[in-house]
Amino acid sequence: MRRKLVAGNWKMHGSLADNEALLGAILSGLHDVKADVAVCVPFPYLAQAKARLAGSRVAWGAQNVSQYARGAYTGEVSAAMLNDFECRYVIVGHSERRTLFGETDAVVAEKYAAAQTAGLIPILCVGETLEEREAGVTEAVVSRQLDAILARSGVISLANAVIAYEPVWAIGTGRTATPEQAQAVHAFIRAKIRALDAEVAEHLIIQYGGSVKAANAAELFAQPDIDGGLIGGASLNAEEFLAICRAA
Ligand code: PGA
């Protein structure tokens, strides 16, 4: 049995004061949560996350990482820097990074490799746009996104990674993929990896992300290939986030 992982993606939200309250509320509501739990916070709040969460069941991480190790890259943050804050996870290739900040499959593959080199667990986001889904190329798109990783780091790298399937049309839109739609893509991803390495595929955590709420989490997480979720909007509300964690 794979464990389930529920990770919050706070995106560009939060403040020292708000985070203090949110992290405190999450920590005090974990008693009946069986899943693994993490929060991915904005860079400036990593120190706060570490201070607040060290020694707890909640892991923390970042939402982006530079593909470069060091140097003249103004505004970038390296994987080694994330390690200084004892991050466990880092999201790479979120669709907002791909579409709003021009990250290509090749750049995402470099970021994934940089994260792993530093010992971080990348949460690799993949997923199609609405246009791509309607054109019937969902599997081709997800395949292409995975192939960039496989070519750069090999299938064995997925033994130390998490994949998040996030259909772009479901992110922040309130329009969740149905459990059947999500399961179909998750099964496709696992089968693709299984063809290369059955053992890696069996243990690979594939999260679903895109408008997950307390009200729809249980039926999504009940699907055989959905191993938890990457939660945006709903992770900013402790009650809602905890209810999603309990559903996993
Ligand atoms: P959402 O975001 O839950 O707000 O749809 C998910 C994500 O972008 O990771």
What CATH number is associated with residue 241?
3.20.20.70
Query: d(Cα 92, Cα 79) in Å, to the nearest integer?
Result: 11
Q: 229 C-alpha vs ligand 1 centroid, how far in Å?
A: 9
Look at the pTM and tell me if it is higher than 0.75.
yes
Q: At 225, phi and psi to the nearest 5?
A: -110, 10
Long-range pairs, 195-200, Cβ under 8 A, ≥24 = 196/150, 196/155, 197/155, 197/156, 197/158, 200/155, 200/156, 200/158, 200/159
Q: How many of the other CB atoms lie within 10 Å of CB of 211?
A: 21
Range of the domain at 223: 5-247
Catalytic hit among 94, 103, 128, 186: 94
| 20 belongs to the catalytic site | no
| Total residue count of the chain as it appears in this document | 248
- 94 contacts 10 by C-beta, under 8 angstroms: no
Mean pLDDT of the chain: 98
Tell me the mean pLDDT in the region 132-137. Answer: 96
Cα angle 213, 219, 221 (rounded to 5 degrees) comes to 85
* Long-range residue pairs from 15-22, CB within 8 A, at least 24 positions apart, any chain: 16/45, 16/48, 19/45, 19/48, 19/49, 19/52, 20/48, 20/52, 21/238, 22/236, 22/238
Q: d(Cα 9, Cα 39) in Å, to the nearest integer?
A: 6
Report pLDDT for 108: 98
Our answer to whether residue 240 is catalytic in this structure is no
**pLDDT tier at 1, thresholds 50, 70, 90:** confident
CA of 95 to the centre of ligand 1 (A): 10
For the chain, the domain total comes to 1
Q: Is the pLDDT of residue 40 over 90?
A: yes
Distance of CA 209 from the midpoint of ligand 1 (Å)? 6
Model confidence over 151-163: pLDDT tens digits? 999 999 999 999 9
Within 6 A (CB) of ligand 1 lie 9, 166, 171-172, 209-212, 230-234
Catalytic residue among 128, 132, 166, 240: 166
For range 128-147, the mean pLDDT: 97
